[in-house]
């Protein structure tokens, strides 16, 4: 298996588990990583006092990536060559392949297409930005995911009886609440039995960001209360296998365009809209703000819970037999 760099939510997972007292070997096993990789990550990115913080580790990693140099290459030559050809309207692909043609026996004067793009995006070539790249007539067509396009998707029909009849806590319906005013969105998680709500403020709609937000929240929820997720077929759930490994649960997928198969989450999203209307700009709020909204909703007495609150049911302060939506 080839090595892959640690992601932001993996670093957050490491930090939270270290705080909870788990060993490095245990953390590595949960992440599906080799113990030495986790040890190296912690050692390399800990601060001067030996403490590991995910945001500092991620910042250090990004800084190394942005400002790294290709020591095996003749960068002064390549930088000048690339700049000259870009200004002559050559594409990075043309530059890369022309270098191979002109200098077939000199690897130091060759560079890949991707690295040329990377240098341009990071403004490592004086006077050259992405605006200098040629524009093509093609446009990227956005496509929606469905259950057949998501690798390893498990249909909701295979969900357990206890999840279906709401007889135990720990089976969550999950979704995203979006806005046309901002790339930011809300990741919403609602327990089917207790109606307990968790909200995570997400920077965008990618699967990496959703996994990061979910992991950050659910690491603090007891394992006994995180058994399954049920989602629609949005692309933000594409990396559900990794998320399931991190949180030790399975994700089940509804049929396409079938919101009634997640009734608890749909209803709860409606409650959230009382605070954040459809065109609300989520870039104007913080995680603390959405936590306060979740707390307000969770502490309301609910008719479907016999007028107990979701918090009371979730924390086992009272018992209720309930099978309503």
Q: Give residue limits of the domains in the chain.
A: 8-67, 75-132, 154-314
Q: How far apart are CA 121 and CA 128, in angstroms?
A: 9
Q: How far apart are CA 279 and CA 281, in angstroms?
A: 6
Q: Answer whether 0.85 is exceeded by the pTM.
A: no
> 58-67 — which CB contacts under 8 Å span 24+ positions?
58/8, 58/11, 61/5, 61/6, 66/122
**201 contacts: CB under 8 Å, gap ≥ 6:** 184, 186, 187, 213, 282, 285, 286, 287, 289, 290
pLDDT, residue 73, reads 82
Question: Which fold is adopted by the domain 154-314?
Answer: Nucleotidyltransferase; domain 5 (3.30.420)
Adjacency order of strands within the sheet including 228-231: 154-155, 250-253, 228-231, 171-179, 182-191, 197-202
**6 contacts: CB under 8 Å, gap ≥ 6:** 14, 37, 41, 57, 61
191 touches 169 (CB < 8 A): yes
**316 contacts: CB under 8 Å, gap ≥ 6:** 169
Per-residue pLDDT tens over the stretch 95-115: 999 898 899 999 899 999 988
Would the pLDDT of 145 be above 50? no
Would the pLDDT of 116 be above 70? yes
More confident residue, 5 or 222: 222
Average pLDDT score, the chain: 87
Band of pLDDT at residue 7, cut at 50, 70 and 90 = confident
Would the pLDDT of 142 be above 60? no
Would the pLDDT of 277 be above 70? yes
Q: How far apart are CA 248 and CA 269, in angstroms?
A: 25
Would the pLDDT of 143 be above 50? no
Of 151, 159, 144, nearest to 254 (Cα)?
Answer: 159
Band of pLDDT at residue 1, cut at 50, 70 and 90 = very low
Q: Which phi-psi region, left, alpha or beta, contains residue 123 (left: φ > 0; alpha: ψ -120 to 50)?
A: left
3-state SS class at 77: helix
- Segment 116-124 mean pLDDT: 83
- Segment 58-86 mean pLDDT: 78
With pLDDT > 90 as the criterion, what percentage of the chain qualifies? 54
């Amino acid at each position: 298996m080839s090595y892959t760099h640690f992601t932001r939510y993996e670093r957050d997972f490491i930090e939270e588990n270290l705080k909870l007292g788990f060993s490095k070997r245990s953390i590595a096993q949960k992440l599906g990583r080799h113990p030495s990789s986790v040890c190296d990550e912690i050692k390399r990115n800990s601060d001067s006092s030996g403490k590991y913080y995910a945001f500092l580790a991620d910042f250090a990693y990004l800084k190394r990536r942005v400002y790294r140099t290709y020591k095996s290459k003749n960068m002064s030559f390549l930088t000048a060559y690339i700049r000259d050809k870009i200004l002559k309207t050559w594409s990075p692909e043309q530059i890369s392949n022309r270098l191979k043609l002109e200098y077939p026996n000199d690897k130091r004067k060759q560079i890949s297409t991707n690295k040329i793009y990377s240098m341009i995006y990071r403004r490592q070539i004086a006077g050259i930005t992405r605006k200098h790249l040629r524009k093509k007539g093609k446009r990227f067509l956005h496509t929606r995911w469905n259950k057949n396009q998501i690798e390893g998707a498990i249909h909701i029909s295979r969900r357990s009886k206890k999840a279906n009849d709401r007889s135990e806590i720990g089976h969550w319906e999950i979704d995203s609440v979006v806005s046309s005013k901002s790339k930011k969105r809300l990741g919403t998680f609602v327990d089917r039995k207790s109606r307990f709500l968790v909200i995570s403020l997400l920077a965008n709609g990618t699967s990496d960001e959703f996994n990061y937000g979910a992991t950050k929240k659910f690491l603090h929820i007891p394992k006994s209360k995180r058994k399954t997720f049920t989602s629609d077929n949005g692309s933000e759930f594409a990396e559900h296998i990794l998320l399931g490994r991190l949180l030790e649960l399975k994700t089940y997928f509804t049929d396409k365009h079938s919101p009634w198969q997640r009734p608890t989450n749909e209803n709860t999203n409606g409650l959230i809209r009382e605070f954040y209307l459809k065109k609300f700009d989520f870039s104007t709020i913080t995680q603390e703000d959405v936590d306060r909204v979740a707390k307000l909703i969770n502490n309301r007495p609910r008719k479907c819970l016999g007028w107990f609150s979701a918090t009371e049911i979730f924390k086992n302060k009272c018992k209720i037999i309930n099978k309503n939506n």
